[in-house]
A and B are shown apart, each in its own frame.
Chain A
Amino acid sequence: MDLDAEHLMMRVRARDANALETLYDAHHRLVYGVAMRMLGEVSAAEDVTQGVFLKVWSSPELFRGGNFPAWIVRMTRNRCLDALRSRNAHPQTELPETLPEDTAIEDVAFANLDARAVRSALQALPAEQREPIELGFFGGITHEEIARKSNVPLGTIKTRIRMGLKKLRTALEGAVSA
């Protein structure tokens, strides 16, 4: 368990604003970084960052324990998808469904990985696997759209994403145990 975050979230539930401030100091770069990658605009990324931490404050019960960074990244991605929807840039394209925010991600093995280790593991993937994974996660589009954009059969894209994620898991496990 991510005991620090668990403890801080208990204090947030008890309405301790200092605990939220500590969580912000520890995790805002993660939230802001994901939002910037997905939205590409400072003001939109700032709005999402503010919205995520205010949600942590107003609905701390959504965090069911486990991997706090994973949970907050999920919340961030969902808000970015909402922002992309509201831009309505491609009304003909269906955006993926948001991920559940009230589900615990019990596996905390990767909770303390730093950005460099993850980037290194990602770079080690073949481009044909890395690109659809990144496009799917940060681009906020469905795998069908990825297949269309990359002109690759749908079934092939699906298999590449799954194989890429499995390889990534193995690489990250190696980074954790190193």
Chain B
Amino acid sequence: MRGAAKRGGYLLLGVLVLLAAVAASLTIGSRPIPLGEALDALLHPSAGEAALIVRELRVPRTLVGLEVGAALAVAGVLMQALTRNPLAEARVLGISAGAATGVVAAIAFFGVASLAGWIWFGLAGAALAGALVFLVAARTRDGSGPVSLALSGAAIDAGLGAVIYGILSIDAATFEQYRFWVVGSIAGRTPAMAGQMAPFLAIGLVLAVVTARGLDALALGDDAARGLGHRIQRVRLLAAVAAIVLTGAAVALAGPIAFVGLAVPHAARALVGAAHRWVLPLSALLGAALLLLADVLGRVISPPGEVAAGVVTALVGAPVLLWLVRRARTVTA
């Protein structure tokens, strides 16, 4: 069909950008390692210091960055489609707040003191909050339509936010640990953590691909989607499950990283148009690349210290979002 070659070109470009980001993530840091040496460390395990840094620190960090970036971007596409709201991202469906509540509860009530333990509490909290938002919305007249999803998500987000800050404000010790998670980072993650999140990512991506055509139809309105032969409640349910699983896993693993889920879908749509079979894969590529590059930037921005990737995405994100808003206005005018 028209433009398929051009869109395929953008996908290829996305792959190249991602490869460059991976290379940067493996080589750049407080101890720069040439690309050849880094690849050598991957292919021929040796005991050298550089090889150890690459294998033990940079590879897991890069894998987690790939997973989290792709998951957040794809989940952003799904949530924007579900709510028909171009500003939708992890916060809108209450998923971020759910994960944060899980982590706070793990620290404050269960005495869990390590990231490896928080991940499961974060994932459970995200799933519970996301499921609650969807079930509340599904019982409205709107039938989990855009408005009821956005409203019940905003309500859960606000309510859980109150719970989180309520606990943190009376429990300084919990806050002392929580702040390392909530800043949003992919540093210090282990290969085991990357492995634990992989199945969730896979499930979310498969569901996203399955619902791509249904989301294209839903974008035309509920009646139009029904007229094209879709069971719209089923499309919404599958897309919501995918969004919850992807966001929950990503946020649990890396903390609430802003902006990737919001901006990457916009960038992808600007390049390949509105069809989800193109937007989804390109968003996955660009989301992974963006998070890796933000992480790399954070490593070099203020040596010898590091700035968390979540801080960098937010810092870089704000001006880019303003640019997107300006662009959107010129399109509709």
Question: Are A and B subunits of one complex?
Answer: no
Chain A residues proximal to chain B, CB less than 8 Å: none
